[in-house]
Homo-oligomer: A and B are copies of this chain.
Amino acid sequence: MGLDMTRAFNFSAGPAAIPTEVLERAQKELLNWNGYGCSVMELGHRTPDFQGILDKTEANLRKLLKIPDTYKVLFMHGGASHQFSMVPMNFLAPEETANYLEMDHWSRMCIKEAQRFGNIHLQQGIRTNSEGLMELVPENEWQLDEKGKYLHFTSNETIVGVQFQEDPHTFSGKLVSDMCSDILSRPIDIEKYALIYAGAQKNIGPSGMTVVIVREDLFESFHTERVPSLFQYPYVSEKGSMPNTPPSFGIYFAGMVFEWLLENGGVEQMYKRNLEKAHLLYDYVDQSNFYHSPVAKGSRSFMNVAIQMKDRTHEERFLHEARENHLIALKGHKTFGGLRASIYNAMSLDGVKSLIRFMEQFERNVT
């Protein structure tokens, strides 16, 4: 790893690393896509050329996640926070109730938004256990409103680094999931869900675009009173994700990332590699007396690995020296502190091994 290295290992939680091969392709095509003499970002969205990009992008996502025909796939403007409002605006009347699992900062934002539009039944999803470690509240302890219109939960929580190891299965109603930070990192049984959404900037592409997978029969009972057209799922669906000019460059990037995934064995292969990366890192941290994981086994995320040093005064130096070693964006979220290695699909096994080597070296240097 000499100083001439142009690409660092980027552990950013989001916007996050894009596969280098995808960026290289984008770079090559940036001034002249497919011989058209312009970039995709300069291409009218009503051209057959752009429609072709959109169609292929959707088809590849359907292939990757085995999305049944009874589900619509939407590519929408904005981020997950837009969905925080859209879900209740579409599916919750003011007098109705929905269940929300409360996790961290982001789910609290989501809940605050939902409370604007209906009654929210809260269930704590995360807690500190007797050893002071973060853990998921086991599903058999949940107390939900079984008559609630849906249960909303975040499958992977990026700040603390906590992730559901299996789909929730006790609630008999509709499941809605914010899968921003683990979509495409593992196989999903889509049919267990009514609606899944994911902002692009972790496992899909640049920020400003969100993928929504929604069961079509939900469109039969939705609300439109004081709901902007662009926030109405059925309308966006009817217009084929193009009620207005879509975030076309983001869709093109997503399409390239989906092709990269298919070329690399799809989500099954990605899942295997993601588990390998995470186990390597957690195993190293667990055997260390210098680093530790703040998350209990059984609740740990394989996408966002929170790491703490027993002596927190080393953090600044760690981040500085890591950067000098081309390992960037390892700082934990400001609300939780410590270190965090986000190891989404685009992070290679080599990247994780480099991080571990650096952690070993850092420990030797400061102790």
User: Which residues does A use to contact B, with CB under 8 Å?
Assistant: 5-8, 10, 12-18, 20, 23-24, 26-27, 30-32, 36-39, 41-47, 77-82, 84-86, 89, 112-113, 116-117, 199, 201, 205-209, 225-226, 228-231, 243-250, 253, 326, 328-329, 334
Which residues of chain B have C-beta atoms less than 8 A from A78's C-beta? 77-78, 230, 244
Q: How far is the CB of A172 from chain B (nearest CB, A)?
A: 29
* 29 examples of A-B residue contacts, CB within 8 angstroms: A7-B37, A8-B36, A10-B38, A12-B43, A14-B245, A15-B44, A26-B30, A30-B30, A37-B328, A41-B206, A46-B334, A77-B82, A78-B230, A78-B244, A80-B244, A81-B243, A82-B244, A85-B228, A85-B230, A113-B229, A116-B226, A117-B226, A201-B245, A206-B247, A206-B248, A207-B248, A208-B208, A208-B246, A208-B248
Contact of A44 among B37, B39, B329 (CB under 8 A): B329
Which residues of chain B have C-beta atoms less than 8 A from A201's C-beta? 245
User: Could you tell me if A77 and B80 are in contact, using CB atoms closer than 8 angstroms?
Assistant: no
Q: How far is the CB of A179 from chain B (nearest CB, A)?
A: 15
A15-B42, A17-B42 as given contacts; A8 in contact with B30, CB under 8 Å: no
* Total copies of this chain within the assembly: 2
Contact of A15 among B5, B248, B253 (CB under 8 A): B248
Which residues of chain B have C-beta atoms less than 8 A from A205's C-beta? 41
User: Could you tell me if B81 and A44 are in contact, using CB atoms closer than 8 angstroms?
Assistant: no
Contact of A41 among B36, B41, B207 (CB under 8 A): B207
Which residues of chain B have C-beta atoms less than 8 A from A326's C-beta? 37
User: Could you tell me if B228 and A37 are in contact, using CB atoms closer than 8 angstroms?
Assistant: no
User: Could you tell me if A207 and B45 are in contact, using CB atoms closer than 8 angstroms?
Assistant: yes
Which residues of chain B have C-beta atoms less than 8 A from A37's C-beta? 5-8, 10, 326, 328
Measured CB to CB, the nearest residue on chain B to A201 is B245
User: Could you tell me if A249 and B7 are in contact, using CB atoms closer than 8 angstroms?
Assistant: no
Q: How far is the CB of A18 from chain B (nearest CB, A)?
A: 6
User: Could you tell me if A31 and B41 are in contact, using CB atoms closer than 8 angstroms?
Assistant: no
Q: How far is the CB of A222 from chain B (nearest CB, A)?
A: 15
Which residues of chain B have C-beta atoms less than 8 A from A16's C-beta? 42
**CA A199 to CA B231, docked complex, whole Å:** 17
User: Could you tell me if B247 and A207 are in contact, using CB atoms closer than 8 angstroms?
Assistant: yes
User: Could you tell me if B10 and A42 are in contact, using CB atoms closer than 8 angstroms?
Assistant: yes
**CA A225 to CA B94, docked complex, whole Å:** 12
Which residues of chain B have C-beta atoms less than 8 A from A113's C-beta? 228-229
Which residues of chain B have C-beta atoms less than 8 A from A199's C-beta? 245
Q: How far is the CB of A257 from chain B (nearest CB, A)?
A: 12
User: Could you tell me if A8 and B38 are in contact, using CB atoms closer than 8 angstroms?
Assistant: yes
User: Could you tell me if A14 and B44 are in contact, using CB atoms closer than 8 angstroms?
Assistant: yes
Contact of A31 among B7, B47, B79 (CB under 8 A): B7
Q: How far is the CB of A119 from chain B (nearest CB, A)?
A: 15
User: Could you tell me if B14 and A41 are in contact, using CB atoms closer than 8 angstroms?
Assistant: no
Measured CB to CB, the nearest residue on chain B to A35 is B6
Q: How far is the CB of A253 from chain B (nearest CB, A)?
A: 8
User: Could you tell me if B30 and A42 are in contact, using CB atoms closer than 8 angstroms?
Assistant: no
User: Could you tell me if B228 and A15 are in contact, using CB atoms closer than 8 angstroms?
Assistant: no
Which residues of chain B have C-beta atoms less than 8 A from A42's C-beta? 10, 12, 15-18
Q: How far is the CB of A327 from chain B (nearest CB, A)?
A: 9
**CA A26 to CA B46, docked complex, whole Å:** 25
Q: How far is the CB of A113 from chain B (nearest CB, A)?
A: 6
**CA A13 to CA B42, docked complex, whole Å:** 10
Q: How far is the CB of A344 from chain B (nearest CB, A)?
A: 11
Measured CB to CB, the nearest residue on chain B to A252 is B206
Contact of A208 among B77, B80, B85 (CB under 8 A): B77
